[in-house]
């Protein structure tokens, strides 16, 4: 039987934290993927190779984020039926979501190969960095199905309360990734190609382990390839919940891509410094990210079980916990960023840019935490379009407008970095308004 966690009963804070803990450990391991790539490439390859690997996030997430957003929407639907105890609908939802993941994998590969080379040129990637970036992306998108299918499997498992087994599989794949990084980059000197192959192979291993687990289950949450089918009513719900999040992810990435283009304008040192800091920030912010990822499952399970007051109480705890913890992390990062960045990149000019970014953004982490956690609550309530509106308005449109205009008057790197705390503030205000007006009794119906 599946070791599922029923979030509709028991102490709220304890349940949320216990559910989020394996996710936190898993996310740390995923970040170690990225840090391993960065550390090995930064220490055993050229500065241009490190700049290429460290600046890939916004482009890859623009494509992957769309399909991952739909996976999140599918998870909300599965959680709702799981909380309501509707076994038939849980089974149909699982198979509809997995079939979508297979189709999405093919689509993402095609889109990546067509779009990414043009995006790199449009972003004015420095000539000395461009060949490395192209090599990395060609390999990465050749195996992008491993990333999408893992997100689908992970979303299904978490939707029925199993956040533990994805952790086990990430431990294995993360260790594999580190070994392959050292072997391919440090020993065989394959540079960015080695880092890309290490990521693809290790991610494929995690998918394989997920599938073994899901196909061997003995209850209604079992994955059976013979039952893969699109159920129109379920797919309609998945699309309604997932498309807003997917579009949000992709369009936010467009905003971040514009910012990355402005970072590229300052040269390879700025690309390396900003990329190194982004990886440190991503690791430091993981506890809050995992709380925001836990909230949709908690809220949708409780609303599906007809417990809106419990869903509301859990949301309040999750948001406050995330904000307090985020600010503590931000303060620590403000003071210790130079040493952390130096661990990833040795060039002093690159470290300087990373420190500027840290000093500009880290003290505003409580706003970033509120935006993430509030968005998670609203998705769990079936209101995914609200975070989409907020993020598209501020994290994309306003960021692009701000950077385009502000850099003309203040052409320094700190101007680019300021785009983040400004847009976090604006999105937090809008999300707070919607949360205060939310009708919990009618949510997710």
Q: Which residue has the tokens 């559910």?
A: 19
Map residue 242 onto helix, strand or coil.
Answer: helix
290 confidence band (pLDDT: 50, 70, 90): confident
The encoded tokens of residue 331 equal 């303060």
Token look-up 């039926």 returns 81
Q: Are 96 and 74 in contact (CB under 8 A)?
A: yes
Question: Pick the residue with more confidence: 31 or 55?
Answer: 31
Altogether, the residues listed in the chain come to a count of 445
Q: What is the pLDDT of residue 318?
A: 94
d(CA 252, CA 50): 24
Per-residue pLDDT reduced to its tens digit, 65-107: 788 778 878 888 888 888 888 899 999 999 999 998 898 899 9
Distance (Å, whole) CA 390 – CA 430:
7
Residue 109 token pair: 């590969």
Mean pLDDT of 328-353: 84
Give the three-state DSSP class for 189.
coil
Q: Which pLDDT tens digit goes with each residue over 391-423?
A: 889 988 898 899 889 888 888 888 988 999 999
Nearest CA among 123, 111, 385, 63 for reference residue 249: 63
From the list 256, 191, 266, the residue with the least C-alpha distance to 60 is 256
Domain ranges of the chain: 13-436
Token readout for 55 is: 């600046």
Closest CA to 26 of 171, 162, 135, 141: 171
The reported pLDDT for the residue numbered 342 is 82
C-alpha distance from residue 391 to each of 34, 65, 398 (Å): 25, 13, 10
What φ, ψ does residue 306 adopt, rounded to 5°? 75, 35
Residue 201 is predicted with a pLDDT of 93
Question: What global pTM score does this model have?
Answer: 0.71
């Amino acid at each position: 039987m599946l070791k599922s966690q029923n979030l509709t009963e028991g102490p709220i804070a304890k349940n949320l934290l216990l559910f989020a803990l394996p996710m936190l450990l898993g996310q740390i391991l995923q970040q170690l993927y990225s840090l391993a790539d960065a550390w090995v490439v930064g220490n055993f390859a050229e500065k241009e190779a490190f700049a290429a690997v460290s600046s890939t996030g916004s482009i890859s997430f623009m494509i992957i984020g769309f399909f991952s957003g739909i996976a999140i929407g599918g998870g909300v639907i599965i959680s709702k039926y799981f909380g309501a105890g509707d076994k038939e609908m849980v089974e149909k939802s699982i198979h509809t979501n997995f079939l979508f993941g297979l189709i999405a994998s093919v689509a993402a590969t095609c889109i990546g190969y067509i779009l990414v080379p043009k995006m790199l040129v449009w972003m004015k990637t420095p000539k000395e960095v461009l060949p490395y970036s192209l090599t990395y992306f060609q390999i990465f998108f050749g195996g992008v199905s491993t990333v999408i299918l893992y997100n689908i499997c992970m979303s299904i498992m978490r939707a029925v309360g199993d956040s533990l087994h994805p952790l086990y599989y990430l431990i294995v794949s993360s260790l594999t990734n580190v070994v392959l990084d050292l072997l391919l980059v440090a020993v065989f000197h394959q540079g960015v190609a080695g880092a890309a192959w290490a990521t693809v192979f290790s991610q494929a291993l995690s998918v394989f382990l997920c599938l073994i687990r899901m196909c061997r289950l003995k209850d209604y949450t079992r994955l059976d390839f013979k039952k893969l089918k699109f159920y129109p009513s379920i797919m309609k719900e998945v699309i309604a919940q997932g498309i807003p999040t997917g579009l949000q992810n992709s369009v936010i990435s467009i905003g971040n891509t514009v910012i990355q283009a402005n970072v590229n304008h300052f040269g390879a040192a700025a690309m390396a410094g900003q990329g190194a800091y982004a990886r440190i920030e991503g690791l430091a912010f993981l506890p809050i990210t995992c709380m925001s990822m836990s909230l949709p499952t908690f809220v949708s399970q409780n609303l599906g079980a007809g417990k809106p007051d419990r869903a509301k109480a859990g949301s309040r705890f999750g948001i406050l916990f995330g904000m307090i913890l985020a600010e503590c992390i931000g303060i620590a990062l403000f003071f210790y960023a130079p040493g952390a960045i130096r661990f990833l990149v040795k060039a002093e000019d690159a470290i300087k840019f990373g420190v500027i970014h840290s000093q500009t953004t880290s003290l505003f982490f409580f706003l970033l935490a509120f935006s993430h956690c509030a968005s998670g609550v609203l998705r769990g309530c079936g209101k995914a379009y609200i975070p989409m509106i907020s993020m598209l308005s501020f994290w994309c449109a306003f960021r692009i407008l701000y950077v385009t205009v502000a850099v003309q008057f203040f052409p320094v790197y700190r101007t680019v970095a300021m785009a983040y705390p400004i847009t976090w503030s604006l999105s937090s205000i809008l999300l707070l308004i919607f949360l205060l007006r939310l009708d919990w009794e009618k949510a997710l119906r």
